[in-house]
Amino acid sequence: MKLVWIVDDDAEMGHAVSLMLKLLDCETKHFNSPRLAAQALLGGGRPDLMVLDINMPEVSGLDMLEFLRRRREWKNLPVIMLSSEAADVMVDDAMKLGADGYVMKPVTIEELEKVMSQAFYKHLMK
């Protein structure tokens, strides 16, 4: 069973994504801020995949992604970005920073499963 960390300041969205992931046979943990997720990582926690909301107060999902990609121990952690914004610039920024996928809110279980599979495959091929 894969462990997926969901980092989203919207509790309802975090819960919805968690339910979808459980239906996809994943264990989940929800963090309502990147700071809390970073503390858990620094404390020794390690998910198999992280789903990061882009727009959050204080620290954005893009900032968190950049933090992950600059650290050797998390550089290859699969990360899917989640956003209500479809702007090509936002998608391009996320992919340039090292995101493995990008899904739009509201996300469907089919879309989430597809992007997760692509993210895991990408990291298997590295």
Q: pLDDT in tens for each of the 126 residues of the chain?
A: 999 999 999 999 999 999 999 999 999 999 999 999 999 999 999 999 999 999 999 999 999 999 999 999 999 999 999 988 777 778 889 999 999 999 999 999 999 999 999 999 887 776
**CATH code, 2-124:** 3.40.50.2300
Per-residue 3-state assignment (H helix, E strand, C coil) for the chain: CEEEEEECCCHHHHHHHHHHHHHCCEEEEEECCHHHHHHHHHCCCCCCEEEEECCCCCCCHHHHHHHHHHCHHHCCCCEEEEECCCCHHHHHHHHHCCCCEEEECCCCHHHHHHHHHHHHHHHHCC
pTM over 0.85: yes
